[in-house]
Structure 1
Amino acid sequence: MKHPLPAHPQHIGVLRLSALGDVCNLVPTVRALQRQWPEAKITWIIGKGEHSLLAGMSGVEFIVYDKSTGLAGMRALWRRLADTRFDVLLHMQQALRASVLSLGLKADVRVGFDRARAKDRQYWFTHRQLVPRERAHVLESFMDFAALMGVEDTELAWDLPIPAAAVDEARHLTGDAEYLLISPCANPRLRNFRNWSAEGYAALVEHAYTQYGLKTVMTGGGSTQEREMGHRIQALCQADAVIDAIGATSLKGLLALIDRARVVIAPDSGPVHMANAMGTPVVGLFATTNPDRAAPYRWRDYVVNRYPDAVREFLHEDPATVTWGRRVRHPDAMSLIRSDDVIDKFDALLAATASPHAPSTGPTLDRESPDEA
């Protein structure tokens, strides 16, 4: 017998710890829940870094779990929520660590992914699972939780707050002139291979500067890899064309930079989804991950997509039949992206968005049936 879902939930729990791009893609689901049940309390259990990006989001209580604290941190969180019982817990993290964390939370019903989309046997830890849907984008998979709850209004809304200090942080780096923003490096996880070449970015920087008078702001964390990439790009460009902001901003400061950018260009990483959330035009660079699943949602028409070529060349499989979400873990995959590919998309996006922040698609979620997907 299925556990019934609450018709009028008073307290909704959301469990999603990471990562930056994923939590950006989840925000529209939270906004949809808020529109459906404006009086309901929403508590989001979230990772430390991700919270620093979303802090101040209206109508949401954040409970932060720092993954570095391990089981001790879980126990502390369980104690904090010992007197809390959720009408429904939306378990939206497909990882064993999150499932273990969920065990110490009290909820009348726990909702998770369907078996095809669940990882680490997440369905062992939930009472109800999503209706199966093939070939779903990450944002669509999150919105499926709201649909299962009975939400019909799937308008995409983010409304992420940017404090004045973060705006000042951004303006201190750029002044008031328009600029292109690039974030050259993705999270350096094991066998990620999402980074494009310094030479490719340099060609783009020169094009933006010579053809449009746009300087380029480089952003990223303070890791050695990111700083070295920034130095290589800068060495290949005119000195006046680049502002090096790698390691120079907070996450809110980065969000402010992205919000004010004319265009953002980056690989599959947090900044492309942050740009999508802010309505900033964005070109995503994809070869190792499938953009149909993970592209910046409102700007999918402007993705540089070499994923099918990478699947054929490095996996020796047919892109039409390869497992959904399969990654191409090969260090040469991103080299399939050519400078002309990126420059052409950049030019097209500039031409299509004479006014900054004009989305390329409508404001509502694509709702395809499984047969159409």
Structure 2
Amino acid sequence: MLEFTPSYKKICILRLSAIGDVTHVIPVVRAMQKQWPGVEITWVCGKFEYKLLNIIEGINFIIFDKKKGIKAYRELWNALKSDHFDVLLHMQVAARANIASLGIKADIKLGWDKSRSRDFHQLFINHSVARENQQHQVQGFLSFARELGLQLDEPSWEIPVTEKARKFAEQYIDKDKKVLIISACSSHKLRNWSVSKYAELADYAVEHYSMQVILSGGPADIEVEMANEILASMRTSALNLVGKDTLEQLVGLLSKATVVVSPDSGPAHIANAMCVPVIGLYACTWSKRSGPYNSLEYCVDKFETAAKQYLNKSVNDLRWGTKIEKPGVMELIEVDEVCRQLDRVIKHSSDKTSVIKE
């Protein structure tokens, strides 16, 4: 741990992407805001990620638009040329972030330990977090806060639902039904479950629990096409909101869900941050590392099976963070396994409702 000093007044966070990862960083921000009142926080983030993060108060955001190429670095360095930070939290090991850090002046440049580094990350920092074996990503990010002397064990997100987001959600949510939101697509096609299995799950939710099923996702062609195919394959009906909300509105929508079903994706982590149960579908990645933090018990995880079947290895022989993105891996997840987890979530939510009424 760094020698704690109360003089940490200016902190810069460098985490450009992706949605799930920037969501993991928010508890670090909350810890600093609570324990260091008045701390000045600057966050260098991606253009798309800013659409989510801008609802977090008390942060000066600097947008890095990677599509601009070299110009993006020049704009970033020019924006920060008069700033000198006590600490740079260099939370991304990718080459793009490492190069960006060159124009950020800070006394302490705290980054990842060597075992979790790549792209020469260690050359761009002067301190690193402690090495941990098989640590969940949420706890990995919290280790940055602990290294600075902040006291915290578990994450707290406190993501606000704006009035605009609340009104958007209320347009579509049936208040008289339990709500299943299916966010069917990850950012990587091979991490997606099949159309037929999503459709079967949705029908199960409607036929067994009279749930309102909502399909959610971004405007990308793959997400629009998958949503249309799921609807066409269902016996029952669902509300298709794919491509119809912003990230800000998505927060409001997810906050109203009874349960969310998703592969390893940004919306899964946003829902988790909103304290909504998430049934994570994991086979290409391991939920122990990147599953929805508060819903690991609900994940259907076939990563260990995939390691044996596709790599002929035990998970303990794989580098932490290994991805098994091969055709057919996600088909290891069976519909009945996900339905059983849905049963558990519904039972738990009913039990909680009964306790509240009593």
Return the TM-score normalized by structure 2: 0.94
Displacement after TM superposition at 1:265 (Å)? 0.3
Q: Which moved more, 1:172-181 or 1:285-294?
A: 172-181
CA distance in 2, matches of 1:56, 1:197: 33
Match of 2:155 in 1: 156
Deviations 1:277-316 (A, max 9, x none): 0001110000000111000001111100011111110011
Match of 2:252 in 1: 256
Contact 1:283 1:304 in 2 (8 A): yes
Match of 1:14 in 2: 13
Mapped pair 1:135 → 2:131 = no
Match of 1:179 in 2: 179
Q: Which moved more, 1:3-12 or 1:329-338?
A: 3-12
Q: Which moved more, 1:280-289 or 1:62-71?
A: 62-71
Match of 1:202 in 2: 199
Distance 1:164 1:175, change over 3 A: farther
CA distance in 1, matches of 2:351, 2:238: 23
Map 1:235-246 to 2 at 5 A: 235-239=232-236, 241-246=237-242
Deviations 1:211-246 (A, max 9, x none): 11102100111222112211111112135x300111
Match of 1:117 in 2: 116
Q: Which moved more, 1:280-289 or 1:315-324?
A: 315-324
Contact 1:181 1:258 in 2 (8 A): yes
Q: Which moved more, 1:165-174 or 1:112-121?
A: 165-174
Amino acid at match of 2:210: G
Contact 1:285 1:304 in 2 (8 A): yes
Amino acid at match of 1:305: D
CA distance in 2, matches of 1:222, 1:153: 38
CA distance in 2, matches of 1:282, 1:9: 36
Mapped pair 1:294 → 2:283 = no
Gaps of 5+ in 2: 354-358
Displacement after TM superposition at 1:20 (Å)? 0.4
Displacement after TM superposition at 1:185 (Å)? 0.9
Return the TM-score normalized by structure 1: 0.91
Gaps of 5+ in 1: 358-373
1:328 aligned residue (319, 324, 337) = 324
Contact 1:54 1:161 in 2 (8 A): no
More helix by share: 2
Amino acid at match of 2:270: M
Map 1:1-373 to 2 at 5 A: 6-177=5-176, 178-188=178-188, 193-239=190-236, 241-354=237-350
Q: Which moved more, 1:74-83 or 1:165-174?
A: 165-174
Distance 1:5 1:15, change over 3 A: farther
Q: Which moved more, 1:304-313 or 1:7-16?
A: 7-16
Deviations 1:139-179 (A, max 9, x none): 11101111111112234211112221122222223343431
Amino acid at match of 1:237: M
Distance 1:5 1:105, change over 3 A: farther
Count of paired positions: 352
CA distance in 2, matches of 1:42, 1:99: 19
Displacement after TM superposition at 1:8 (Å)? 2.9
Contact 1:281 1:353 in 2 (8 A): no
Amino acid at match of 1:271: P
Q: Which moved more, 1:213-222 or 1:50-59?
A: 50-59
Contact 1:173 1:245 in 2 (8 A): no
Q: Residue 99 of structure 2 aligns to a residue in which SS?
A: helix
CA distance in 2, matches of 1:135, 1:153: 19
CA distance in 1, matches of 2:311, 2:243: 35
Query: Aligned residues: percent identity?
Result: 36
